[in-house]
C-alpha cells in the first residue's frame, strides 16, 4: 500500500458536515443532540458507543434514512434536511451503505445483487426491465473481483457464507461508484477472523478509492485498530473525536460510563 | 380409592333443544322450496343412466373430434389468456395493496378496498352481464375470468408481499433507486415463485369456471353442453362431462405439481 498518511486525508475536501444536528424520532425520543462534525474525503471513521447511544441514527442521517429534525447535515454539497425526493435520490447514488445482515436479495444471483447498485444511474425503462449495459456489467465484475468473489458471480446469494455475503454487499455499494461508504455494524454477525478480513477490505478500499468511510462498531479494540479517527457517542452526543491511539481511559469511561471490560474487545486480528 | 365428589345437577339443555327445533324447521322449509319429489326423481332415473352410459367408451369419435375438441380447446385458451393477463395486471396492484411497498396509506387503503370489491363479484353473474353487453362468445367469458384472475392473484400476492424481508428493499432504496425500482428488484425476486404459483392456481379455477361459463353464453365447451342438454341428447352430455372431467383433472394435477415445486 502507499505511504499516504492519515494527516493528509484530514485536509482533504469536506464531504459531510453536521451542523447543530438533532434527531427526534416521531415518538418523541431524541436520539441525537446538537451534533457538530466534519468528515472528509478518504477518512476512515469508526463510531463507537453503547447500544442505544445513537450510532445507527448518526449514520442513517447521512443518507437521510432518518431525517434530521434540528440543524442540518450537508452531504456532498447539499443540505439534506429539506431536500426534494429527486435530489435525495441523486445524492444517495454516491453513498453506498452496508448493513449488519447484508440485505441481499437471497434468491437472486450474486451478480444480480451487485448490479442493483447501478439502478440509480440507469434510465428508468432500462432499470425497470433490468437491462443493464455492458459497462454496468463490466463494473459489477470489477467490483466482485475487488472483493475477491468473482467465482461466485452466478451462485444464489443465500448459498454463500456470511463473510462472502457481506463482500457481495460491499461490491454492490462499490458498483454505485460512491464517494461515501456507510457501514452499520458490518461485522457484528461474523466470526473474528472473517470480521477482521472484512474490516481490512473496507480499510483498503477507503485508501485506494479515496472513499470517506464511516463504520459503526461495537468493539473498541477493532475501532482502535482500523480507524483514522474515532467518534465516541454517548446518549446522542459526541463525547470523543480523535485518533484511536489518543484515547485515554477517561475518554473510554465517558463513552461507556464505566471501566473497560474484556467483553468490549473482540480480540486482536489473527493476521 | 377415593369417592368422587357428586356431580352438580345437570341443567336442562335449552340451547340444544331450541337449536335442534330451529334447524328442523329451516330444513323442512328449504327442502319444500326445492320441489323435491320422489316420483320426479324416479322418472328421471333412466335419463341419468343413459347419461352415465354415455360416459363409457366406445365414444362416437366424430362427435368428439368434430364437435367437442374445438370448444374444449377454446375453453382452455380462454382460461390461459385470462389467468396470464389477469396476473400481469395484478402484479403492480398487489404492490400498491401491501403496506410494505405502497407509497402511502391512501394508495394502500384504496387499492385494498378495490380488490375486496372485485372479489365479491360472482364470475357467472359477471359473464352473463358481459355476454349481454358484448354479445355471445368467448370474449365476454375471457373478460369475466380476467377480472376474476386479477382479483385472486392480486389479493394473494399482496398478502405475500406483506411478509417479505424488507432489507433488500431498504438496501436498494439507499442506492438512490425509486420505489418502483425497489419493488421491481428488491421485492419481485422474493415473490416470483409465489407469483407463478398463484397464476397457475387462477388457471386451475379458470378451466373449471370456463366450462360452465358457456351456459350463460360466454363461449367454450359450456355452449355445446347447453345445446346437447336442450336436445335431451344424454349420451353426448355424458361424453362432454367425461372429457371435461378428464381435462380438468389433468390440468389440476399438472398445475398443482408445478406449484408444489415452486413454493
Ligand atoms: N425509529 C425509531 N423510533 C423511536 N426511537 C428510535 C428509533 N430508532 C432508534 N430509536 C432509539 O434511538 C436511540 C438510538 O438508537 P440507535 O441509533 O439505533 O443506537 P445504536 O445504533 O447506537 O445502538 C435508542 O434509544 C433507540 O431506542
Ligand atoms: Mg445500531
- In this predicted structure, the answer to whether residue A107 has a pLDDT above a threshold of 90 is yes
The answer to whether the CB of A57 is under 6 A from ligand 1 is: yes
Domain boundaries defined on chain A: 14-94+178-256, 109-170
The answer to whether the CB of A165 is under 6 A from ligand 1 is: no
Nearest CB partner across the interface for A89, out of B171, B176, B189: B176
* Distance of alpha carbon B171 from alpha carbon A172, whole angstroms: 9
pLDDT band at A171 (very low <50, low <70, confident <90, very high): very high
Residue A32 · residue A54 · CB < 8 Å: yes
Residues with Cβ–ion distance below 5 A, ligand 2? A 56
Computed on alpha carbons and rounded to an integer, the radius of gyration of chain A in Å comes to: 18
- Ligand 1, residue A60: give the atom nearest the CA: 17
pLDDT reported for residue A5: 46
pLDDT reported for residue A268: 53
Within 8 A by CB and 6+ apart from A249, the residues are A259, A260
| 8 Å CB contact of A89 and B168 | no
- Half-sphere exposure of residue B47, counting CA atoms within 13 Å on the CB side? 11
Q: Which ligand is nearest to the CA of A65?
A: 1
- Lowest-confidence pick of A170-184, B155-169, B223-237: B223-237
Chain A residues touching B190 at Cβ < 8 A: 105-107
- In this predicted structure, the answer to whether residue A97 has a pLDDT above a threshold of 50 is yes
What's the grid cell of residue B263? 413454493
- Lowest-confidence pick of A25-34, A250-259, B21-30, B49-58: B49-58
Nearest CB partner across the interface for A89, out of B170, B178, B193: B178
User: Is the minimum CB–CB distance between A116 and chain B shorter than 8 Å?
Assistant: yes
Suggest the residue from B104, B176, B185, B194 to mutate for an interface test with chain A (most A CBs closer than 10 A).
B176
pLDDT reported for residue A11: 67
The answer to whether the CB of A61 is under 6 A from ligand 1 is: no
ipTM over 0.85: yes
- In this predicted structure, the answer to whether residue A2 has a pLDDT above a threshold of 60 is no
pLDDT reported for residue B45: 84
| A158 secondary structure, DSSP code | G
Smallest Cα distance from B187 to chain A, Å: 8
Question: What CATH code is assigned to A14-94+178-256?
Answer: 3.40.50.300
- Ligand 1, residue A54: give the atom nearest the CA: 17
pLDDT reported for residue B1: 55
Domain boundaries defined on chain B: 63-262
pLDDT band at B61 (very low <50, low <70, confident <90, very high): confident
Q: Give the tens place of pLDDT for each residue, B181-194.
A: 999 999 999 999 99
Q: What is the separation, in whole angstroms, between the first and last Cα of chain A?
A: 16
Smallest Cα distance from A58 to chain B, Å: 15
| 8 Å CB contact of B178 and A99 | no
pLDDT reported for residue A215: 97
- In this predicted structure, the answer to whether residue B63 has a pLDDT above a threshold of 90 is no
- Which sign, positive or negative, has the C-alpha torsion A159, A161, A162, A166? negative
Smallest Cα distance from A101 to chain B, Å: 8
pLDDT band at B37 (very low <50, low <70, confident <90, very high): confident
| Nearest 10 degrees: Cα torsion A142, A143, A146, A150 | -80
Q: Give the tens place of pLDDT for each residue, A189-240.
A: 999 999 999 999 999 999 999 999 999 998 888 898 999 999 999 999 999 9
pLDDT band at A266 (very low <50, low <70, confident <90, very high): low
Which top CATH class is B63-262? mainly alpha
Residue B164 · residue B99 · CB < 8 Å: no
The model carries a pTM of 0.82
- Ligand 1, residue A51: give the atom nearest the CA: 23
pLDDT reported for residue A106: 94
Percentage of chain A with pLDDT > 90? 82
The answer to whether the CB of A53 is under 6 A from ligand 1 is: yes
Q: Which residue has the higher pLDDT, B144 or A179?
A: A179
- In this predicted structure, the answer to whether residue A88 has a pLDDT above a threshold of 80 is yes
What's the grid cell of residue A262? 474484556
pLDDT reported for residue B233: 82
Compute the distance from residue B180 Cα to the ligand 1 centre, in Å.
Answer: 28
Which of the listed ranges A49-58, B206-215, B227-236 does the model predict with the highest average pLDDT? A49-58
Percentage of chain A with pLDDT > 70? 93
What's the grid cell of residue A123? 434510465
pLDDT reported for residue A132: 96
Amino acid at each position: 500500500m502507499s505511504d499516504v498518511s492519515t494527516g493528509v486525508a484530514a485536509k482533504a475536501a469536506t464531504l459531510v458536515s453536521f451542523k447543530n444536528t438533532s434527531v427526534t424520532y416521531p415518538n418523541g425520543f431524541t436520539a441525537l443532540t446538537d451534533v457538530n462534525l466534519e468528515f472528509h474525503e478518504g477518512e476512515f471513521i469508526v463510531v463507537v458507543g453503547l447500544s442505544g447511544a445513537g450510532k445507527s441514527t448518526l449514520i442513517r442521517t447521512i443518507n437521510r434514512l432518518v431525517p434530521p429534525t434540528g440543524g442540518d447535515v450537508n452531504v456532498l454539497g447539499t443540505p439534506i434536511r429539506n431536500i426534494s425526493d429527486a435530489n435525495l435520490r441523486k445524492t444517495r447514488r454516491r453513498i453506498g451503505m452496508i448493513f449488519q445482515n447484508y440485505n441481499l436479495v437471497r434468491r437472486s444471483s450474486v451478480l444480480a445483487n451487485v448490479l442493483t447498485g447501478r439502478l440509480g444511474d440507469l434510465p428508468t425503462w432500462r432499470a425497470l426491465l433490468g437491462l443493464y449495459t455492458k459497462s454496468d456489467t463490466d463494473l459489477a465484475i470489477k467490483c466482485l473481483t475487488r472483493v475477491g468473489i468473482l467465482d461466485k458471480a452466478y451462485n444464489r446469494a443465500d448459498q454463500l457464507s456470511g463473510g462472502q455475503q457481506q463482500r457481495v454487499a460491499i461490491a454492490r455499494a462499490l458498483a454505485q461508484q460512491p464517494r461515501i461508504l456507510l457501514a452499520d455494524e458490518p461485522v457484528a454477525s461474523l466470526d473474528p477472523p472473517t470480521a477482521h478480513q472484512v474490516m481490512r477490505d473496507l480499510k483498503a478500499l477507503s485508501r485506494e478509492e479515496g472513499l470517506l468511510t464511516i463504520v459503526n462498531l461495537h468493539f473498541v479494540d477493532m475501532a482502535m485498530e482500523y480507524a483514522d479517527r474515532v467518534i465516541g457517542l454517548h446518549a446522542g452526543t459526541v463525547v470523543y473525536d480523535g485518533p484511536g491511539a489518543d484515547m485515554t481511559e477517561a475518554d473510554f469511561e465517558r463513552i461507556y460510563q464505566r471501566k473497560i471490560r474484556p467483553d468490549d474487545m473482540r480480540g486482536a486480528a489473527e493476521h | 380409592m377415593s369417592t368422587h365428589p357428586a356431580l352438580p345437577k345437570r341443567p336442562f339443555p335449552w340451547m340444544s333443544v331450541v337449536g335442534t327445533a330451529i334447524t328442523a324447521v329451516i330444513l323442512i322449509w328449504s327442502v319444500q322450496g326445492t320441489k323435491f319429489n320422489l316420483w320426479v326423481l324416479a322418472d328421471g332415473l333412466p335419463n341419468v343412466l343413459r347419461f352415465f352410459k354415455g360416459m363409457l367408451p366406445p365414444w362416437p369419435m366424430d362427435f368428439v373430434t368434430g364437435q367437442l375438441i374445438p370448444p374444449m380447446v377454446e375453453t382452455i385458451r380462454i382460461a390461459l389468456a385470462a389467468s396470464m393477463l389477469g396476473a400481469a395486471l395484478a402484479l403492480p396492484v398487489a404492490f400498491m395493496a401491501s403496506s410494505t411497498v405502497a407509497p402511502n396509506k391512501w394508495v394502500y387503503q384504496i387499492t385494498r378496498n378495490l380488490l375486496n370489491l372485485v372479489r365479491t363479484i360472482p364470475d357467472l353473474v359477471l359473464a352473463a352481464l358481459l355476454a349481454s353487453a358484448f354479445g355471445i362468445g368467448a370474449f365476454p367469458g375471457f373478460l369475466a375470468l380476467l377480472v376474476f384472475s386479477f382479483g385472486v392473484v392480486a389479493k394473494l400476492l399482496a398478502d405475500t408481499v406483506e411478509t417479505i424481508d424488507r432489507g433488500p428493499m431498504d438496501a436498494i432504496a439507499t442506492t438512490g433507486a425509486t420505489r418502483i425500482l425497489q419493488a421491481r428488484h428488491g421485492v419481485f425476486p422474493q415473490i416470483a415463485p409465489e407469483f407463478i404459483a398463484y397464476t397457475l392456481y387462477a388457471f386451475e379455477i379458470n378451466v373449471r369456471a370456463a366450462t360452465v361459463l358457456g351456459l350463460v353464453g360466454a363461449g367454450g365447451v359450456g355452449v355445446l353442453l347447453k345445446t346437447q342438454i336442450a336436445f335431451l341428447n344424454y349420451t353426448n352430455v355424458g361424453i362432454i362431462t367425461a372429457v371435461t372431467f378428464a381435462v380438468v383433472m389433468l390440468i389440476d394435477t399438472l398445475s398443482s405439481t408445478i406449484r408444489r415445486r415452486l413454493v
